[in-house]
Structure 1
Amino acid sequence: MMKKIVFISLAILYSLGLQAENLDDIFSGGRALYQQKLELSDYRLVLSVPKKVNSQWSFDRSESLQGSLEKRTIELSQDESFSEAKQGLENYLYSMEAQAIFMCSSLDCGSSNVWANEIFGVKQLYGLDASQSYQIWQLNQEGKTQYLIWYLSQRGNRRIYLQLELVTPLAESVIAIAPDPETLLKTIVDAGFYVVPDALLSQQDDAFFEALVQAIQRKPRQIFAIVGHTYTERRWEANQKKSEAIAQQFADLLIEKGIKAAQLKVIGMGSFAPQGKKGLARVEIVIP
């Protein structure tokens, strides 16, 4: 069943902006209730759980984006479970090397009624507070930045609904959005590793760097390996030495920000593990 869900997730995500396929055909028993494409001058990207302040719903964190929006509301087949659909979507996005920016699940998301009616405006999404998941992922393909927002909920009658929204910002409106620390930690733990963005290697993105520091500090007993890879030299020994140096440099930045040196293990892999490499050097955070 899991393989089936992953395939379904892949087909749906490709259908958003990449292929105009019929969701009724590719969703294996699921059906699209609504679908729409439009241009927006102000799309609210919700990056926190809704809170009620002075009788109004508000958010500790959100961003406004300008660009195109493609969205679908889908009723999943009764053969598919909530947990399998959620895991299948996450696994596929991890496989695409997408970056998770914000995640919440179950009661941590707050009221499903708010997500369904106040945020997405789709009444079918109103389900059980204990059976819901909201996630935002950043996709970077062929030099284009996109944001995939999805909300999954299960109603009391066991029916499961999925809201998918793909935002493609105008090039001039693309902004750097740092992930939530808890989301970043979940990403590292679930995948077992995390490829450090180039901007973090020189601490150019302070908000992102601070989120990473907070994520590591939430696991004070966990050892994190800082693993360097380089492919610039002919000899492996030279690559190994250089990769260890860039890994150590990044570890030193973390230590300066308050991470205990005992939590970090620096490893230089040289040109080993070249499969899927991007660029001539990279640093990964790995859970041994």
Structure 2
Amino acid sequence: MHLRNLSALTRSTVVGVFVLLPFVASAEPVLQAFPRAELVQQVAADNADHGVVIGSIRRINNQLRAEREVRAAGDLLRRTWQIPDGHTADEAFRQAKGQLLERPHRVLFFCEGRECGSSSLWANQVLNFSRLYGPEDNQAYLALRLDEQPQRFVAIYSITRGNRRVYLHADEFVPEIPVEEDILPTPATLLKLLQADGVLELPEVVLENAVEQAAQPWVDVLVRMLRSDVRVRVRIDGAGAPALINALQAGGIHAQRLDIGQPDPASGIRITRL
């Protein structure tokens, strides 16, 4: 997919260290700054044509392309903080991620280090702030959708630059018209979250005695996730756990890798790494 940037929209509004512009009153920012972090850039734009990157990026024929993106018109808030000395990019990233995962959400894409691709592309063409450029081993990116009112897409990016300064960037995007497309995370993203946090909360995966057609795409993604690392064993909790385990076994996942947990009709599906 082509990924157009917002340079004409944002760079002309940044003067000096940062510019503070009002955001949509009905969509106050959800992300709180890391303690004692310095805000070095803030840009707000209404009716922005914005693409939320939810896949790998690369340059083809001098054009930036994203493997997947969500594109819509809406209100965009971009903020960048410099993290205090003595704190790591991982600390800042985890603090921001923790805030977001406490809200109803769907993670769409997660990458770390070199798997994210060129830091120069992220800094200069995706996030439009050159100060975010640094060694590619020292970056991380997460994009998710908050399933509340108004619908919001949030992306966070952390980097440790060559001079050891740490930055965290956040985009909060509120589409004018809610995006109805059902976008699932990639198997690699789910595996990384499971490895990083030890658990996957999937409240939207509701199963009965058998896997219904609406849930089959989730089953396919989970099968691919488990096939990508045969060492992973999991416990599955939720009212639909027996149906999901049967479906995963039908997809080729050995029964020895799957334990059944507790039924909980209010929780959807929870997958815990063992």
TM-score, normalization by structure 2: 0.77
Displacement of 1:20 after TM fit?
A: 9.7
> What is the deviation of 1:209?
3.5
Task: Give the drift of 1:284.
Answer: 1.8
Q: Which of residues 82, 88, 96 in structure 2 aligns to 1:89?
A: 96
Query: Would the aligned equivalents of 2:52 and 2:153 in 1 still touch at CA under 8 Å?
Result: no
> Which residue of structure 2 lines up, in the alignment, with residue 227 of structure 1?
237
Distance in 1 (alpha carbons) for counterparts of 2:95 and 2:37: 15
Question: Can you give the 5+ residue segments of structure 2 that lack an aligned partner in the other structure?
Answer: 1-25
| Mapped pair 1:36 → 2:43 | yes
Question: What is the aligned partner in structure 1 of residue 252 from structure 2?
Answer: 258
CA contact (8 A) 2:134 2:161 kept: yes
Identity %: 25
How much has 1:19 moved relative to structure 2?
5.8
Structure 2 residue 273 is matched with structure 1 residue 287: yes
Q: Which residue of 2 aligns with 1:188?
A: 194
How many angstroms does 1:111 deviate by?
A: 1.5
User: What's the counterpart of residue 215 of structure 1?
Assistant: 225
CA–CA distance in 1 between the matches of 2:103 and 2:225?
22
1:166 deviation in Å? 0.8
- Tell me, in whole angstroms, the C-alpha distance in 2 between the residues paired with 1:180 and 1:270: 26
How big is the alpha-carbon RMSD for the aligned residues of Structure 1 and Structure 2? 2.9
Gapped runs of 5+ residues in structure 1? 1-15, 229-242, 272-278
Query: Higher helix proportion, which one?
Result: 1
CA contact (8 A) 1:32 1:73 kept: yes
Aligned-partner residue type, residue 92 of structure 1: Q
Q: Which region of structure 1 is more displaced relative to structure 2, 174-183 or 51-60? A: 51-60
TM-score by length of 1: 0.74
Q: Deviations over 1:163-182 (max 9, x none)?
A: 11111223443432211211
Counterpart position of 1:132? 139
Conserved 8 A contact 2:203-2:267:
no
Cα distance in 2, alignment partners of residues 105 and 99 from structure 1 = 18
Q: Following TM superposition, where does structure 1 have runs of at least 4 consecutive aligned residues deviating by more than 6 angstroms? A: none
Q: Deviations over 1:178-226 (max 9, x none)?
A: 1121111122233322233334533415544322221111222322222
Aligned residues: 246
CA gap of 1:150–1:27, structure 2 versus 1, over 3 A, is closer
SS of the counterpart of 1:204?
A: helix
Give the equivalent residue in structure 2 for 1:111.
118
Separation (CA, whole Å) in 1 of partners of 2:266 and 2:29: 32
Deviation at 1:270, TM superposition (A): 4.5
